[in-house]
């Protein structure tokens, strides 16, 4: 039914795009948001382009001030973009008020109505949609069961804990069966253990409801463990979109590589045949990001777990000396100063077989096959 609707209301150009991949639920087209005017103007979003598919757990990841919350507010309708379109099933909704969009939000501090009970909060959306009382009652019970809160239906929202408020906020946003659920750092107010629990809970809810989730967080670990796809944002721009694996293993920009996990950057000179002559004194094969033809100076990124310490002088390895070793139980982080003075970190799993290296000892750093990637900047 949705496909038919889509076909009827979209232009031929869009239909072509839709034919290539599954039709996106939300399509953000060249969206910019500028706050203020003249000298005081601040660009919060700069020509953002994202497609989010059916039943996807999509995460907007970035440091505070990167524009992720602004983007979420534009999708919810609390603010309107300065330029661009936000399409829901192909229809531009960018200038519709929030109460006309089949999109619901879980707020950072839950924003539960303090003068209503838990049940009344959950039923609010359906009530506003003018659904019959019996349907609302049934749906409220169903939602509370889904988030395991049925026992607290008649409690006031001030009488329940933070984790419980979180569940009520989720039930309230899911009750009207939105097409898209927006989550604005919903776990940031919870303590560590509860947060882990809610992460699993959220994945379960998304799986059971089949609703597209757009999740905003600054916590890279949360993003990696929960998301189907991640958009890494910085300075109002989307730097990279991809699966957790893509983002971690194949970062295209320095910011992405740096923001997610620990990493090594090495400078070098591009050579023919997809390899880079590193300043530290070795030639490694390295792939460039898709659609990018590098030349001249380039930065190569290598994750610390994709390198090994080998005896000094081993062929193809980078020569250096151990400058520091930090023991982490399951593994040890060795900091190696390479020939050109750059620092390199190697994460080595601790096992009986693995040799320990003294600080100051000369070593070789061997890079795993295919582990090095060129960056765009």
Partner 1 sequence: MAATDTPPPAPSLPSFEAEAQTRAARRNRLLTLPALLIIGIFGVLPLLIILVYSFLEAGPYGGVVWNFSTEAYVNFLFQADIFSDKLTFAPAYLLIYLRSFLFAVATTLVCLILGFPTAYFMATRPPRQRNLWVLLITIPFWSNLLVRTLAIMFIIRDEGLINSILMGMGVIDHPITMLYTNFAVLLGLLYAFLPFMVLPLYASLEKLDFRLVEAAYDLYATRWRVLWRVIVPASLPGIVAGCLLVFIPTLGAYVTPLILGGGTHLMIGDLIAQQFGSGRNWPLGSSQALILMAVVLIALFVYVRNTTGRTPHG
CA–CA distance, 263 with 279 (Å, rounded to integer): 17
Any contact of residue 186 with partner 1 (CB under 8 A)?
no
Query: b/e string for 43-54 if b means 16 or more Cβ within 10 A?
Result: bbbbebebbbbe
Residue 180 or 224 with smaller CB distance to partner 1: 180
Interface region with partner 1, contact rule CB under 8 A, candidates 62-70, 99-107, 250-258, 343-351: 99-107
Among 3, 41, 128, 200, binds partner 1 (CB under 8 A): 128
Any contact of residue 137 with partner 1 (CB under 8 A)?
no
Tell the smallest beta-carbon distance from residue 130 to partner 1 (Å): 9
Nearest in space to 52 (alpha carbons), one of 106, 5, 103? 103
Among 65, 107, 189, 314, binds partner 1 (CB under 8 A): 107
Any contact of residue 304 with partner 1 (CB under 8 A)?
no
Cβ atoms of 322 and 360 within 8 Å: the answer is yes
Any contact of residue 124 with partner 1 (CB under 8 A)?
yes
Interface region with partner 1, contact rule CB under 8 A, candidates 22-30, 54-62, 124-132, 285-293: 124-132
Interface region with partner 1, contact rule CB under 8 A, candidates 12-20, 50-58, 107-115, 211-219: 107-115
Interface region with partner 1, contact rule CB under 8 A, candidates 2-10, 117-125, 211-219, 257-265: 117-125
Nearest in space to 195 (alpha carbons), one of 212, 181, 183? 183
Cβ atoms of 375 and 299 within 8 Å: the answer is yes
Residue 172 or 347 with smaller CB distance to partner 1: 172
Can you name the residues that pair with 206 across neighbouring β-strands? none
CA–CA distance, 48 with 199 (Å, rounded to integer): 27
Residue 41 or 326 with smaller CB distance to partner 1: 41
Residue 86 or 301 with smaller CB distance to partner 1: 86
Tell the smallest beta-carbon distance from residue 243 to partner 1 (Å): 29
Any contact of residue 105 with partner 1 (CB under 8 A)?
yes
Among 85, 127, 150, 249, binds partner 1 (CB under 8 A): 127
Tell the smallest beta-carbon distance from residue 365 to partner 1 (Å): 51
Cβ atoms of 205 and 197 within 8 Å: the answer is no
Interface region with partner 1, contact rule CB under 8 A, candidates 54-62, 169-177, 253-261, 323-331: 169-177
Any contact of residue 125 with partner 1 (CB under 8 A)?
yes
Looking only at the bridges linking them, the beta strands covering 264-271 and 297-302 are: antiparallel
Residue with tokens 């839950």: 110
Nearest in space to 342 (alpha carbons), one of 265, 240, 285, 249? 265
Any contact of residue 361 with partner 1 (CB under 8 A)?
no
Residue 103 or 338 with smaller CB distance to partner 1: 103
CA–CA distance, 107 with 240 (Å, rounded to integer): 25
Q: What binding mask, one character per residue, do residues 73-92 give for partner 1 by CB under 8 A, x or -? A: ---xxx--------------
Cα torsion 244, 250, 255, 260: sign: positive
- Token pair, residue 231, equals 């958009």
DSSP 140-203: HHHHHHHTT-GGGTTSBGGGS-HHHHHHHHHHHHHTT--SEEEEESTTTTS-HHHHHHHHHHHH
Looking only at the bridges linking them, the beta strands covering 57-61 and 229-234 are: parallel
Any contact of residue 109 with partner 1 (CB under 8 A)?
yes
CA–CA distance, 334 with 308 (Å, rounded to integer): 10
* Terminal-to-terminal C-alpha distance of the chain: 44
Any contact of residue 43 with partner 1 (CB under 8 A)?
no
Residues interacting with partner 1, by CB under 8 A?
76-78, 97-99, 103-105, 107, 109, 111-116, 120, 124-125, 127-129, 172-173, 176
């Amino acid at each position: 039914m949705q496909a038919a609707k889509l076909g009827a209301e979209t232009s031929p150009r869009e239909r072509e795009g839709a034919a290539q991949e599954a039709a996106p639920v939300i399509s953000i087209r060249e969206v910019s948001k500028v706050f203020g005017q003249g000298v005081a103007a601040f660009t919060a979003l700069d020509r953002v382009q994202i497609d989010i598919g059916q039943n996807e757990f999509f995460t907007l990841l970035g440091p505070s001030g990167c524009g992720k919350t602004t983007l979420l507010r534009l999708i919810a309708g609390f603010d309107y973009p300065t330029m661009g379109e936000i399409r829901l099933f192909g229809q531009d909704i960018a200038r519709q008020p929030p109460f006309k969009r089949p999109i619901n939000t879980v707020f950072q501090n839950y924003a539960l109505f303090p003068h209503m009970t838990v049940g009344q909060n959950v039923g609010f959306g359906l009530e506003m949609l003018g659904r019959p009382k019996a349907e609302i009652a049934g749906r409220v019970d169903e939602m509370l069961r889904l988030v395991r809160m049925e026992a607290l239906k008649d409690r006031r929202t001030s009488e329940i804990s933070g984790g419980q408020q979180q569940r009520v906020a989720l039930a309230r946003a899911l009750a009207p069966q939105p097409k898209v659920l927006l989550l604005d750092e919903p776990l940031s107010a919870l303590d560590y253990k509860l947060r882990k629990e809610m992460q699993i809970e959220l994945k379960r809810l998304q799986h059971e409801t089949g609703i597209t989730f757009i999740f905003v967080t600054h916590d890279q670990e949360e993003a990696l463990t929960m998301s189907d796809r991640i958009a890494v944002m910085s300075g109002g721009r989307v730097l990279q979109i991809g699966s957790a694996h893509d983002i971690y293993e194949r970062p295209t920009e320095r910011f992405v590589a740096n923001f997610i996990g620990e990493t090594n950057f090495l400078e070098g000179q591009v050579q023919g045949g997809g390899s880079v002559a590193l300043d530290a004194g070795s030639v490694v094969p390295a792939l460039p990001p898709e659609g990018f033809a590098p030349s001249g100076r380039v930065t190569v990124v290598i994750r610390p777990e994709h390198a090994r310490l080998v005896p000094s002088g081993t062929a193809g390895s980078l020569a250096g000396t151990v400058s520091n070793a930090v023991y982490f139980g399951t593994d040890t982080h060795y900091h190696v100063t390479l020939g050109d003075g750059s620092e390199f970190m190697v994460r080595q799993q601790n096992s009986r077989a693995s040799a320990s290296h003294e600080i100051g000892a000369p070593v070789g750093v061997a890079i795993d096959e295919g582990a090095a990637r060129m960056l765009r900047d």
